[in-house]
Amino acid sequence: MASVIGSAIEELDTPALLLDKAAFERNLGRMAGFFAGRRAQLRPHFKNHKCTELAKRQLAAGSAVGITCAKLGEAEVLVEAGIDDVLIANQVMGPAKVDRLAALARRAKVRVAVDHADQVEGIARAAERAGSTVGLLIEVEIGMGRCGVMPGEPALELARCIVGRPGVRFDGLQAYEGHLVAVKDRAERERRVWEAFAPAVATRRAIEAAGMPVAVISGGSTSTYAITGQIDGIEEIQAGTYPTMDWMYRELAPEFEIALSVLARVISRPAADRAVLDVGLKGLGHEFGPPKAKGHLDADMPFHLSEEHCTGRSVPDWPLGSLVELVPSHSCTTCNLYRQIHVHERGRVVDVWPHEGSGRPL
Ligand SMILES: Cc1ncc(COP(=O)(O)O)c(C=O)c1O
């Protein structure tokens, strides 16, 4: 395939995933700047873009200790790319996966979340067979209602299972405030995040008082980093969306700019106020709603998605064949649909980066 580097954006075939280099670099600088000199440091979440080049730039921007990811397959991609400190912020189960995890831990510092003694035992046995040591974070439930043991005695009990067990290393706790990231009112978000983390920090202190050192508590997000990142007892912030952003997160963390868009073409103008674009559900993450048009984020211009169409109403006078940049409601599930991202600067493509971690089921 011919290289598109140097082409004008208008020359790209559609749909194409775009990244505005200047905006994304400002996002990296803004986040790294917040954490400069703080006790808590960044561990950016790879799930946002799944692109190792972008992950390396997040690390190079500073104030970062490693990368977070959601799946073993992503961790393998990161280690393959030379990133040597990776947290899988999730439970890894099943014999084949646990063996892969143990093998990966021979090549890099790998940590994984656990919330049950059976997971600990399975990982420890696999690691003993592989001759490696896997770092474990006990995931503590702080209100999201997803994975995690309850704070206090259940977490202490699990820590006792880990400490001293060959093949695994007790590294601390994970607590994710996912139920609070979309609280619109900033003061309420702040109050509820402090409240949610209090039991996790108390659990840390209890584990330490029982003689088991806790290296980290890892948690946080793009809309809570400035709150969670200031709580005494939290060392790592797993913010994900901030490099690319999307229109949903822009409403929650307006200090970051929307750098990601999907370039689409008007393929039909069946009525004066209606335009149909050549990307649909299969090219736009949409859990938080349909996309918006770049430059018209606040306009009353509703879009409807079907599999391969995006139908806009009350649109401007976009001619047939013209190009429109769409901003998705969810950048993480959008990036996962593409194999590469076109990085552009002043209207020209300056780089094309693969999303090596996208489309990986495991
Ligand atoms: C475990 C975990 N940590 C952190 C995040 C934060 O990511 P973001 O900043 O994109 O909300 C998520 C988001 O899904 C997550 O699942």
Pocket test for ligand 1, best of 91, 176, 216, 225 (most atoms within 8 A of CB): 176
Tell me the CA–centroid distance for residue 205 and ligand 1, in Å.
25
Q: pTM of this prediction?
A: 0.97
Tell me the CA–centroid distance for residue 274 and ligand 1, in Å.
36
What residue ranges of the chain are covered by domains with CATH 2.40.37.20?
A: 9-17+255-354
Which residues make beta-bridge pairs with 137? Answer: 113, 172
Residue nearest to atom 2 of ligand 1 (CA): 176
Pocket test for ligand 1, best of 27, 45, 88, 217 (most atoms within 8 A of CB): 45
Q: Ligand 1 in contact with 256 (CB < 6 A)?
A: no
Q: Quick one: which atom of ligand 1 is closest to the CA of 90? A: 1
State the fold for domain 21-243.
Answer: TIM Barrel (3.20.20)
Q: Ligand 1 in contact with 176 (CB < 6 A)?
A: yes
Q: Ligand 1 in contact with 239 (CB < 6 A)?
A: yes
Tell me the CA–centroid distance for residue 238 and ligand 1, in Å.
6
Q: Ligand 1 in contact with 249 (CB < 6 A)?
A: no
Tell me the CA–centroid distance for residue 70 and ligand 1, in Å.
9
Tell me the CA–centroid distance for residue 277 and ligand 1, in Å.
30
What residue ranges of the chain are covered by domains with CATH 3.20.20.10?
A: 21-243
Q: Ligand 1 in contact with 244 (CB < 6 A)?
A: no
Q: Ligand 1 in contact with 241 (CB < 6 A)?
A: yes
Q: Ligand 1 in contact with 165 (CB < 6 A)?
A: no
Tell me the CA–centroid distance for residue 60 and ligand 1, in Å.
21
Tell me the CA–centroid distance for residue 239 and ligand 1, in Å.
6
State the fold for domain 9-17+255-354.
Answer: Lyase, Ornithine Decarboxylase; Chain A, domain 1 (2.40.37)
Q: Would you write out the chain's pLDDT as a tens digit for each of its 362 residues?
A: 679 999 999 999 999 999 999 999 999 999 999 999 999 999 999 999 999 999 999 999 999 999 999 999 999 999 999 999 999 999 999 999 999 999 999 999 999 999 999 999 999 999 999 999 999 999 999 999 999 999 999 999 999 999 999 999 999 999 999 999 999 999 999 999 999 999 999 999 999 999 999 999 999 999 999 999 999 999 999 999 999 999 999 999 999 999 999 999 999 999 999 999 999 999 999 999 999 999 999 999 999 999 999 999 999 999 999 999 999 999 999 999 999 999 999 999 999 999 999 876 56
C-beta separation of 328 from 285 below 8 A: yes
CA 200/CA 228 separation, integer angstroms? 12
